[in-house]
Every structure is written in C-alpha cells, then in structure tokens.
Amino acid sequence: MANKTNKSRKIPINDAFHFDREGFSGDIYVQTNEGAGYNALIVDVHGRHPKKRMLGATRNYLIIDGAGTFTIDGKQHQVKKGDLFVIPDGGEYEYEGKMTLFEFNVPETTSDNAIPLE
C-alpha cells in the first residue's frame, strides 16, 4: 500500500532520490510510490530527452535556469529561465539543451502514462 501523506512537509535535497539517464539527471522530491497524487522533481538537462506522449496525466516544466528547445506537438519553442510548458493528456513532447527544470506531474507519472515514441 502506498505511503500517502497529506501533511505539510519540508523535503531536503538529501531525502530526494537521485537519478542519472543519458542526456539528463535529477532529483525526485515526491515519488510516484508515495501515493500523493502528483510527483515533483528537478531535472538537469545536458543533452536530449526522447519524444514521449502523455496519457491520462499533465506534465508541467518550469525552466529555472539555462536555455534549450522544447518541441511540443511538433512545434519547436526556444526556452529560457522563467518559461513554463504544460503538456496535457495526449500531448507529445521532447526537449534538449543545457538547462535545469522543475517538473510537476498530476497525477504522478509512470511508464504507463508517459509513453516513449522513439
């Protein structure tokens, strides 16, 4: 059973789960298995994130540093600090560059609702 929490809390960086993948890495502050109904993470982009489609979830990216390119539903956008991208249910996206992103997903995303397209 998921460890659902509805309490206010501070999540220090030392409690986040670190991950490394080709082209990006980051820290997950609220993980899918917590049962919170969302997940939240910081993503350090140093390459390319492959094309995906969202199913039954909304993915939000806030660019907190750096610059790059987001391709949303086939249209390219240059991004910089302060820009926000919302990828709704059914939306396709990919990105690349050298930037730091805050990612927030509702509901939490998994391999079941963030489908690889390449």
pLDDT at 108 over 70: yes
Residue 57 lies in a domain: yes
pLDDT at 5 over 80: no
pLDDT at 113 over 50: yes
Residue 10 lies in a domain: no
Over its C-alpha atoms, the chain yields an Rg (Å, rounded) of 14
Give the pair of three-digit tokens for residue 115: 């489908």
Residue 104 lies in a domain: yes
Domain tally, the chain: 1
> pLDDT tens-digit profile of 8-17?
889 999 999 9
Coil, strand or helix: which one is 117?
A: coil
Whether the Cβ atoms of residue 69 and residue 99 lie closer than 8 Å to each other = no
Longest dimension (CA), the chain: 42
Residue ranges making up the domain that contains 24:
16-116
> pLDDT tens-digit profile of 35-85?
889 999 999 999 999 999 999 999 999 999 999 999 999 999 999 999 999
Q: What is the CATH number of the domain that holds 26?
A: 2.60.120.10
